[in-house]
C-alpha cells in the first residue's frame, strides 16, 4: 500500500498552481462511482480527464442521499444497484490512478460510510487509492475534528463548503487537513435546484475571498456554458454536476448503448463548457 | 430542559451521540433555532401559552389507566397505561407539534414542514398549523400513505399540502429526507417540525423538552395514587414518547426503564426495527446515533407492523442511555403486538395503537416476574383507530 | 331526572307524546327496567360509580371550545363548541352506554343488545360491554355498515357480535327493529341499550337522565366563563345529545333552543330527516311522537349525508318541546353541513362529525343576527373521523 | 255506509257460541292483505273460509313490522309493493263480506296507520267493512283507552294479547270494546320463532282462564297439525300463521302460477290441520 509522503505536494494545490501560471480557471465535474457500472464509471473518469476536466469529484454511493435532488439521488440508486459503495469507490480511484497521476480526485458524499469504516482506516485507504480531498455533504467542520486529524495525517484535505449565510467560523477555518479550495454554494436548497444570478454568485465569491485565502470554486446550480463562463470570471473554478449528469443521460438514451460514440459525445459536451470557461481568460 | 436525560460532553451531545451532521447551509438555521428555543424556553409567557394550548387544544393532562382484566394469567405486577392516545389529534406528537409551531410563530416564520410515518405527527402538525393559520407541508412515504388513507385525508382536511414520496423505501425515512430537502430550500419561511427527538441539535433537546410533559404528568399521577413503578416501558419509534416518559424517572435508579423495539416477523434475518439493541453506531439524519446499517454503512430499511416503529435511526439520548446501561431493551414481534392490542380491546374496551401493543406485550412478560404490589407503566402514544384495518382483516 | 324537560300528563308522557307502544310481552320487561332505573337513580353508590366511569372511562368533562377563526364574515355572536367528540369512544353515546350497561349489571343481566346507525352508539356500547365483561350484540343496517367499515371493525375488536341487517332501508331504522326483535327473544338475559331518548317509557326518561351530564357541564363551564348563551343549537338524530344539552337551559326562557334537522339535498320533494318540523304525529318504535310518514301511516326512509341524523322518529320530549314552541327548528342541507365541517377543520384544526356540521352551519346564520358580546353554543356529539371518506373524496 | 247495530251480536261471540254447541275448537289463520295482490288475497280469504277456517286474521300492511319474524316481514313487503295499506285492507274485507257474512274477520297489525287515520274514523270504517275485532301488535291495553272507546262505539273488540309473564292488569281488563277472546302467546320473541312445549302451552292457557272468562286461543309458534291438536286439547282455538304462510309459499313455488291448483292445495293443507284439531273433540 502506498504510504503518504508528506513532502509530496497535494494534487489540488498543484493544479491551482499550474492553472494560475496558465491564467486559466478550473473546470470540475461530479460523477457517482459505479453509475452505471464500475467499468463505465472508469471509462467516464478517463474521458473527463481527456476532455479538459481539471478536477473530478467522485461520489461514493449512499442509500440516503438526503441533501441531493432527484438527478443525483437516482445516480446513487443506480450505483448501489451495480454494487457500488465506499470500498468499491476507492478501488475505482486506484484503477484510475494507474493511468492518471495528475488529475485531482475528490471524494464526495455522506458521512455514514466514513464513520462505519472508521476515520483513520478511511483516510489511510483513501490516500492509498490516490484521493486528494473529501467533501462531506453532511459533515460540517464543527463536527469534523477527528476526521480532519486523520485526513491531515495522510495528506488529504477536507474541502470546506461555504454558503453566503454561513458564518466565517463554519468555513474559514485554518487547520492542517482543511484546504484545497472553498466550495462556494451561492444558492440554498438541495442539489439540482435553480441557478443563482451572476451578481449573487460574484457576491458570494467575494465574501469567500474576504474570509479565506483558499482558491474559490462555485457549484450548485451551474447549468449552462454561459453561466459557467460568468462564474469563471469571478471564481477560481466552476463545478457542474446535475446539468452534466442529466445531459449524459439524454445522450445515453439517444444512442441506446453505443458506448464508443457515447464517450465521444460526452467529450463534445465537456468541450463546450471548457471553451466557454477558457474564453474568459482570453477576454 | 431535559437535564436529567443528558450527560453532555459538549452542546448537542449525549455522551458521544448527537451533534449536527447537516449540510453546512443549515448551520445558521440550526443556530437561530437553538437561540430561539432557548429564549422561548426561558420566557414565562411562552410557557403560559404552551400550557394553555396543551390543556385546551391538545387535551392534557392525559389519564393513567388501570387494566386489571388484561393479563392472561393471574398474579404479577399491575399494569398501568399512560393514555396519550386521548389527546385530541395525533397522540403524543401533538405535544411537540404545538411547541414547535408556537416557537416558529415566535421566530417570525409563516409555514411549517414535516414528515410523517404513521400519520400521527402529520395530523398533529396539520391541526396545529390550521389553528395558527400557518401554511403546512407534509411529506409521507407512498407506502405509508397507502396504508393510512384516513390519515392522508385528515391532514388534507386540516388544509395541509401532502407530498407523497415515491423514493427509496417509500416510508418514513424517505419522507424525512424529502422534508429536510424542502426545508433546505425554504428555511427563511418554513420551520421544520421534528416528530421525534432525532436529527441535528437542537432538535433532540427541543423535542425532548416539549415531550417532558408526559413524564411529569405520569410521575405526579403516580405519586397522587401512592405508587412508584418498578418499571416503565415504551415502544421506540423516533423516541418522542419514550424520551418524554423516561425523562421523569431516569434519575431514579430503582425504576427499570425499558425501551421496546419492533422485532418485525421475529424470523432471524428478516428485517426488523431493533437498532438500539442490534444497530451500529452511525450518522443518520443529522446526528451520530445507533442506526440499522450494513457493514458498508448503507442504511437498511426498517420493518414493523407498526408504521411508527419502522425507522432505522434512533434518538441520540436513547442511544446514550442504552450504551450506558441505564435503559434496557426488549423486543416484541408483530404477532405479539397484535395479540396484546386485541386482548386489551376485548377485555378493557380500550383500543391502543400497534406501537403501544409492542410495549404492552413486553410489559406482560415483565409484570409476571414481579409481585402484585408492584406496578408497571406502559406508554400509549396514540389510539388504535389508525390500525383497525391491520387488526381486523376479515370484514 | 330530566324534570325540567318534562311536562308529563302521566308517567312516561311528555305532553301528549311518549308512552309504551310495544308488544305486550315487553311490558313486564319495561316495568322491571323502570323500577330498576328508579332504584339505581336514587342510590348514591350507583351515582358514584357512574361518575367515576364517566370521568375515567368516558373522559368527562369534555371541554367548551372557542372557534374565533371559523366565521366566514366578521361580527356576530361568538360560537362555542361543546366537545363531546373528545370522549374516548363513541362520542356522547358513551354517556348513556355506560349508564345503561351499569344498570343492566345491577339488574343481574349478563348481555346487552343495541343498534347503531353512524356506528357511534355501537362503538360506545361495545367498549363499555368489553370493560364490564358483558356479551354484546349489535345490529347495524347493511348500508350503514358499508359506509362505516372502520366502525364495524372497531366494534368487532371490542369483542361485540355484529349483526348486519339487510332489511328495508338497510339503515338505522331496520337495525333498531332487528335489535328489538332480538331483545324480545332474550329479555331474560339481555338489556336493550337505547342510543337515544326514543322508544317506550322508561327509555326516553332514562337516556335523558344519563345524557343530562352534557347540559350540566356546559352550563357550569359557561357560568365559570362568565357567559350565558343567547342560543343553544344541536343537530337532531335520535336526540340524545340534544336532550342532554337542552336539559339545563329549557327552564331559562331567555335562551333560544334550536333543534337543527337534516334537509338532505335540500331539493323539494327529495327525502330528508326533518320530522320535527315537517313530520306527522304517529307511533313508531314504541312511542307516540313526530315521525316521517306518508298519509297512510307508512314510515318513510329518512335521508341525510350524516348517518346519525337519518332516522324517521323523534324523541318524545323533543316532539313535545317543539309542539309547545319552546324549541325552535332549523334545517341545514348536506352541502351546508359539509362546508361547515371543512371550514372548521381548515381554520381551527378541529374535525367534527357531519351531524354537528348541520348545527354549526345553522349556528353561523343565527350568530350573524346577534351582537359580538353574545354567545351561541353548538353541540358536537362526535368526531369527524368517521366521516373522512365523505368529506374528502379525492384521495 | 253500514251503521253499527248495537243489538247485533259480534261475529266472534257468535262463532264461539256455535263452536261450543258443536263441541269443536276454532281454527284460525293469518294472512297479510294484498299479499301478493288484492285479487289473490280475496281468493285466499274465500279458500280459508271454504276449507274450515273459523276466523281470519287479516294483517294491514306496514312498512316497519318490527315485532314480526322474517316470514311475516316479507309478506308485508310484498303487500306494500302491491299497493296494500290500511284503506285497501278495509276494501278487501268489504269485498269478502259480499259473499261471507259469518266468518269473523280480525284486523291485525301496527298502530301507526291507525293513529294516522284517527281512532274514530278507523273504528267506523272498520265496522262498515265488516270487521269484528282488532289485534294491535304494539298497542297494549294500558295505552289504548281512546282506541277502545272508539271500537266499543262501533261494536268491535280489541283482542287482548296475553303472555305468561304479563300481569293480569295488562290483559284481563273488563271494559266495553275489549273482548272476543284472549290471544295467548306461550313463547317470548317475535313471530315465527320456536314452538313452546304442550306443557308450557297448557300452563299458559290455564293462567289465562284463571284471570279472565273470555275464550282463549293460542298463537305464536304453532307449526304442525300435531301441535295444533295438542293446543286444541286445552284452548278454545288454535292460531297458525308463519307455518302456513311458509307452506303456501312452497306450494306456490312448486306450481309456478297455476292458481286453480294452488287454491286446491291450500285447501288440502288447511284440511290436514282442521282434521287434527277436530280429532280432539272426538277423542
Ligand atoms: C453531491 C453533489 N451535489 C451537487 C453538486 C453541484 O451542484 P449541482 O448539482 O446543482 O450542479 C455536486 C458537485 O460537486 C455534488 O457533488
Ligand atoms: C303478526 C302476527 N304474528 C304472529 C302470529 C302468530 O304466531 P306464528 O307466526 O309464530 O304462528 C300472528 C297470528 O295471528 C300474527 O298475526
Q: Is the CB of A107 under 6 A from ligand 1?
A: no
Among the partner-chain residues B69, B128, B153, the one whose CB lies closest to the CB of C395 is B153
pLDDT at B2: 40
SS3 B363: helix
In this structure, of C94-98, C145-149, C256-260, the range with the lowest mean pLDDT score is: C145-149
Domain boundary among C203, C230, C264: C203
Our answer to whether residue D57 is catalytic in this structure is yes
Residues C142 and C191 in one domain: yes
C-alpha A146/C-alpha B288 separation (Å) is 14
Give me the torsion for CA of D213, D214, D220, D225, rounded to 10°.
100
Give the position of cell 394553555.
B52
Among the partner-chain residues B21, B284, B291, the one whose CB lies closest to the CB of A139 is B21
Q: Band of the pLDDT at C5, cuts 50, 70, 90? A: very low
B237 is written with which cell numbers? 419509534
Residues C375 and C244 in one domain: yes
Chain C residues with CB within 8 Å of chain B CB: 56-57, 59, 63, 65, 69, 86, 88-89, 126-131, 133, 149-150, 152-154, 156-159, 342, 345-351, 384-385, 388-389, 391-392, 395
For chain B, what percent of residues have pLDDT higher than 70? 97
Q: Is the CB of A184 under 6 A from ligand 1?
A: no
Q: Are strands C190-192 and C231-235 parallel, antiparallel or unpaired?
A: unpaired
Which residues, other chains included, contact B77 with Cβ-Cβ below 8 Å and sequence gap of 6+?
A: B230, B231, B366, B367, B370, B371, B372, B374, B375, B376
Tell whether C3 is covered by a domain: no
More confident residue, C173 or A107: A107
Sites in chain D below the pLDDT cut of 70: 1-7, 281-283
Q: Do B177 and A64 touch (CB under 8 A)?
A: yes
> Could you tell me if C23 and D139 are in contact, meaning their C-beta atoms sit under 8 angstroms apart?
no
Mean pLDDT of chain C: 93
Which residues, other chains included, contact D111 with Cβ-Cβ below 8 Å and sequence gap of 6+?
A: C21, C283, D136, D137, D138, D139
Residues B24 and B169 in one domain: yes
> A136 phi and psi, to 5 degrees?
-110, 120
Q: Band of the pLDDT at C11, cuts 50, 70, 90? A: confident
Q: Provide the 8-state DSSP code for B196.
A: S
> C263 phi and psi, to 5 degrees?
-90, 5
Domain boundary among B172, B203, B234: B203
Tell whether B1 is covered by a domain: no
Starting at the edge strand found earlier in the chain, the sheet holding A26-32 runs: A157-158, A133-136, A105-109, A55-59, A26-32, A237-240, A216-218, A182-184, A161-162
CA distance B338 to chain A (A): 31
DSSP string for A206-253: HHHHHH--S-EEE-SS--SHHHHHHHHHHSSEEEE-HHHHHHHHHHHH
Distance D257 CA to ligand 2 centre (A): 26
pLDDT at B271: 80
Any chain B CB within 8 A of the CB of A113? Answer: yes
Residues C137 and C245 in one domain: no
pLDDT at D258: 81
> Could you tell me if C356 and C381 are in contact, meaning their C-beta atoms sit under 8 angstroms apart?
yes
pLDDT at B39: 98
More confident residue, B130 or D195: B130
Residue C318: name the closest of C345, C295, C286, C288 by CA.
Answer: C288
> Could you tell me if B108 and B98 are in contact, meaning their C-beta atoms sit under 8 angstroms apart?
no
> Could you tell me if A71 and A250 are in contact, meaning their C-beta atoms sit under 8 angstroms apart?
no
Among the partner-chain residues B128, B158, B388, the one whose CB lies closest to the CB of C346 is B158
The model's pLDDT over C110-122, given as tens digits with 9 standing for 90+, comes to 999 999 988 999 9
Tell whether C185 is covered by a domain: yes
Taking residues C150-156, report their average pLDDT.
95
Tell whether B151 is covered by a domain: yes
Containing structural domain, residue C260 = 59-90+211-393
Residue C198: name the closest of C285, C321, C301, C291 by CA.
Answer: C285
> Could you tell me if C250 and C324 are in contact, meaning their C-beta atoms sit under 8 angstroms apart?
no
Q: Do B28 and A87 touch (CB under 8 A)?
A: no
Say if residue C275's pLDDT is above 50: yes
Give the position of cell 354537528.
C356
The model's pLDDT over D112-150, given as tens digits with 9 standing for 90+, comes to 999 999 999 999 999 999 999 999 999 999 999 999 999
Residues B236 and B179 in one domain: no
The CA distances from residue C245 to A73, C215, C277, C318, C395, in Å, are 58, 4, 20, 12, 36
The model's pLDDT over D208-237, given as tens digits with 9 standing for 90+, comes to 999 999 999 999 989 999 999 999 999 999
Residues C228 and C151 in one domain: no
Tell whether C11 is covered by a domain: no
Find the helix or strand (DSSP H, E) in which B357 lies.
Answer: helix B354-368
Distance A30 CA to ligand 1 centre (A): 7
Residues B315 and B288 in one domain: yes
Taking residues B311-330, report their average pLDDT.
96
C-alpha A37/C-alpha A106 separation (Å) is 19
Q: Are strands B13-14 and A237-240 parallel, antiparallel or unpaired?
A: unpaired
Distance D150 CA to ligand 2 centre (A): 25
Tell whether C105 is covered by a domain: yes
Cβ atoms < 10 Å from Cβ of A13: 16
* Terminal C-alpha separation, chain A: 46
Q: Provide the 8-state DSSP code for B73.
A: S
Residues B21 and B133 in one domain: yes
Starting at the edge strand found earlier in the chain, the sheet holding C135-141 runs: C161-165, C135-141, C111-116, C190-192
The model's pLDDT over B354-380, given as tens digits with 9 standing for 90+, comes to 999 999 999 999 999 999 999 999 999
Find the helix or strand (DSSP H, E) in which B93 lies.
Answer: helix B93-106
Q: Burial letters for A133-150: b for 16+ Cβ neighbours within 10 Å, e otherwise?
A: bbbbbbbbbebbeebbeb
The model's pLDDT over B274-305, given as tens digits with 9 standing for 90+, comes to 899 999 999 999 999 999 999 999 999 888 99
CATH number, domain containing residue C166: 3.40.50.1100
A274 is written with which cell numbers? 471548457
Q: Where are the domains of chain D?
A: 11-275
Distance D182 CA to ligand 2 centre (A): 14
Q: Band of the pLDDT at B394, cuts 50, 70, 90? A: low
Any chain D CB within 8 A of the CB of C323? Answer: no
Mean pLDDT of chain A: 93
pLDDT at D190: 82
Angle between helices C93-106 and C44-53 (to 10 degrees): 140
Angle between helices D38-50 and D259-282 (to 10 degrees): 30
Residues B173 and B43 in one domain: yes
> Could you tell me if C117 and C355 are in contact, meaning their C-beta atoms sit under 8 angstroms apart?
no
The CA distances from residue D231 to A82, A154, D26, D219, D246, in Å, are 89, 109, 11, 9, 20
SS3 C352: strand
Question: What top-level class would CATH report for the domain D11-275?
Answer: alpha beta
The CA distances from residue A15 to A23, A209, B340, C95, in Å, are 12, 19, 66, 80
Any chain C CB within 8 A of the CB of D195? Answer: no
The model's pLDDT over B208-246, given as tens digits with 9 standing for 90+, comes to 999 999 999 999 999 999 998 999 999 999 999 999 999
Provide the sign of the torsion angle of the four alpha carbons B82, B88, B94, B98, taken in this order.
negative
Distance A115 CA to ligand 1 centre (A): 22
B365 is written with which cell numbers? 412478560
Q: Where are the alpha helices (DSSP H) in D139-190?
A: 145-153
Give the position of cell 320530522.
C275
The model's pLDDT over B20-75, given as tens digits with 9 standing for 90+, comes to 999 999 999 999 999 999 999 999 999 999 999 999 999 999 999 999 999 988 88
pLDDT at B5: 47
Domain boundary among B142, B174, B203: B203
Name the residue of A55, A242, A248 whose CB sits within 8 Å of the most ligand 1 atoms, as the mutation to test its pocket.
A242
Tell whether B296 is covered by a domain: yes
Q: Band of the pLDDT at C142, cuts 50, 70, 90? A: very high
For chain B, give percent helix, strand, coil, nearest 5.
45, 20, 35
Among the partner-chain residues B21, B282, B293, the one whose CB lies closest to the CB of A143 is B21
E-strand ranges in B117-223 read 135-141, 161-165, 190-192
Total structural domains within chain C: 2
CA distance D124 to chain C (A): 17
Angle made by CA atoms A216, A222, A226, in degrees to the nearest 5: 100
pLDDT at C9: 56
Residues B141 and B233 in one domain: no
Residues B40 and B174 in one domain: yes
Say if residue C145's pLDDT is above 90: yes
Q: Is the CB of A68 under 6 A from ligand 1?
A: yes
C19 is written with which cell numbers? 308512552
Q: Band of the pLDDT at C4, cuts 50, 70, 90? A: very low
D159 is written with which cell numbers? 283482542
Tell whether B5 is covered by a domain: no
Q: Provide the 8-state DSSP code for C228.
A: -
For chain A, 283 residues long, the average pLDDT of each consecutive 10-residue run is 63 97 96 96 96 97 92 95 98 98 97 97 98 96 96 97 93 95 90 88 96 95 94 96 94 84 92 94 53
Any chain C CB within 8 A of the CB of D75? Answer: no
Q: Do B159 and C346 touch (CB under 8 A)?
A: yes
Residues B163 and B258 in one domain: no
Amino acid at each position: 500500500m502506498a504510504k503518504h509522503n508528506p513532502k509530496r505536494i497535494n494534487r489540488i494545490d498543484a493544479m491551482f498552481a499550474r492553472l494560475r501560471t496558465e491564467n486559466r480557471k478550473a473546470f470540475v465535474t461530479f460523477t457517482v462511482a459505479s453509475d452505471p457500472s464500475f467499468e463505465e464509471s472508469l471509462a467516464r473518469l478517463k474521458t473527463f480527464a481527456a476532455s479538459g476536466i481539471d478536477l473530478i469529484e467522485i461520489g461514493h454511493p449512499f442509500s440516503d442521499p438526503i441533501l441531493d435532488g432527484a438527478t443525483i439521488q437516482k445516480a446513487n440508486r443506480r450505483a448501489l444497484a451495480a454494487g457500488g459503495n465506499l470500498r468499491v469507490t476507492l478501488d475505482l480511484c486506484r484503477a484510475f490512478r494507474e493511468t492518471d497521476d495528475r488529475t485531482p480526485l475528490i471524494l464526495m458524499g455522506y458521512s455514514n460510510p466514513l464513520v462505519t469504516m472508521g476515520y483513520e482506516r478511511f483516510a489511510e485507504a483513501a490516500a492509498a487509492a490516490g484521493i486528494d480531498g473529501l467533501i462531506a455533504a453532511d459533515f460540517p467542520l464543527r463536527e469534523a475534528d477527528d476526521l480532519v486529524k486523520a485526513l491531515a495525517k495522510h495528506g488529504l484535505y477536507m474541502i470546506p463548503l461555504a454558503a453566503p449565510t454561513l458564518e466565517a467560523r463554519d468555513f474559514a477555518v485554518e487547520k492542517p487537513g482543511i484546504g484545497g479550495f472553498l466550495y462556494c454554494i451561492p444558492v440554498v436548497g438541495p442539489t439540482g435546484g435553480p441557478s443563482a444570478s451572476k451578481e449573487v454568485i460574484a457576491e458570494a465569491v467575494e465574501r469567500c475571498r474576504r474570509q479565506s485565502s483558499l482558491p474559490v470554486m462555485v457549484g450548485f446550480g451551474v447549468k449552462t456554458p454561459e453561466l459557467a463562463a460568468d462564474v469563471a470570471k469571478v471564481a477560481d473554478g466552476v463545478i457542474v454536476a446535475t446539468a452534466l449528469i442529466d445531459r449524459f443521460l439524454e445522450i445515453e438514451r439517444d444512442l441506446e448503448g453505443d458506448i464508443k460514440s457515447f464517450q465521444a459525445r460526452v467529450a463534445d459536451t465537456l468541450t463546450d463548457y471548457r471553451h466557454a470557461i477558457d474564453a474568459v481568460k482570453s477576454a | 430542559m431535559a437535564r436529567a436525560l443528558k450527560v453532555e460532553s459538549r452542546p448537542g451531545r449525549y455522551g458521544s451521540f448527537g451533534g449536527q451532521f447537516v449540510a453546512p447551509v443549515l448551520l445558521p438555521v440550526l443556530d437561530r433555532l437553538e437561540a430561539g428555543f432557548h429564549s422561548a424556553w426561558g420566557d414565562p409567557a411562552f410557557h403560559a401559552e404552551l400550557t394553555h394550548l396543551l390543556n385546551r387544544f391538545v387535551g392534557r393532562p392525559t389519564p393513567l389507566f388501570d387494566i386489571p382484566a388484561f393479563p392472561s394469567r393471574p398474579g404479577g405486577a399491575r399494569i398501568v397505561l399512560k393514555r396519550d392516545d386521548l389527546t385530541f389529534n395525533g397522540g403524543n406528537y401533538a405535544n411537540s407539534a404545538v411547541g414547535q409551531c408556537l416557537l416558529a410563530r415566535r421566530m417570525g416564520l409563516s409555514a411549517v414542514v414535516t414528515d410523517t410515518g404513521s400519520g400521527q405527527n402529520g395530523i398533529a402538525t396539520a391541526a396545529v398549523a390550521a389553528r395558527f393559520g400557518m401554511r403546512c407541508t407534509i411529506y409521507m412515504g407512498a407506502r405509508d400513505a397507502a396504508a393510512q388513507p384516513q390519515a392522508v385525508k385528515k391532514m388534507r382536511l386540516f388544509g395541509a399540502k401532502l407530498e407523497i414520496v415515491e423514493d427509496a423505501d417509500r416510508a418514513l425515512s424517505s419522507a424525512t429526507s424529502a422534508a429536510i430537502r424542502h426545508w433546505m430550500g425554504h428555511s427563511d419561511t418554513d420551520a421544520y417540525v421534528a416528530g421525534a427527538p432525532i436529527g441535528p441539535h437542537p432538535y433532540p433537546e427541543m423535542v425532548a423538552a416539549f415531550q417532558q410533559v408526559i413524564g411529569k404528568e405520569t410521575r405526579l399521577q403516580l405519586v397522587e395514587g401512592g405508587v412508584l413503578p418498578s418499571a416503565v416501558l415504551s415502544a421506540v419509534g423516533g423516541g418522542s414518547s419514550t424520551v418524554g416518559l423516561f425523562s421523569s424517572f431516569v434519575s431514579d435508579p430503582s425504576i427499570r426503564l425499558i425501551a421496546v423495539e419492533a422485532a418485525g416477523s421475529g424470523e432471524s434475518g428478516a428485517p426488523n426495527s431493533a437498532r438500539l439493541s442490534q444497530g451500529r453506531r452511525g450518522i443518520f439524519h443529522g446526528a451520530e446515533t445507533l442506526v440499522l446499517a450494513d457493514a458498508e454503512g448503507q442504511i437498511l430499511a426498517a420493518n414493523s407492523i407498526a408504521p411508527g416503529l419502522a425507522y432505522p435511526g434512533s434518538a441520540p439520548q436513547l442511544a446514550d442511555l442504552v450504551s450506558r446501561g441505564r435503559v434496557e431493551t426488549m423486543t416484541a414481534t408483530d404477532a405479539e403486538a397484535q395479540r396484546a392490542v386485541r386482548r386489551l380491546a376485548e377485555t378493557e374496551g380500550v383500543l391502543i395503537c400497534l406501537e403501544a401493543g409492542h410495549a404492552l406485550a413486553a410489559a406482560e412478560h415483565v409484570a409476571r416476574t414481579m409481585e402484585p404490589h408492584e406496578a408497571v407503566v406502559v406508554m400509549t402514544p396514540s389510539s388504535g383507530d389508525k390500525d383497525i384495518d391491520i387488526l381486523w382483516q376479515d370484514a
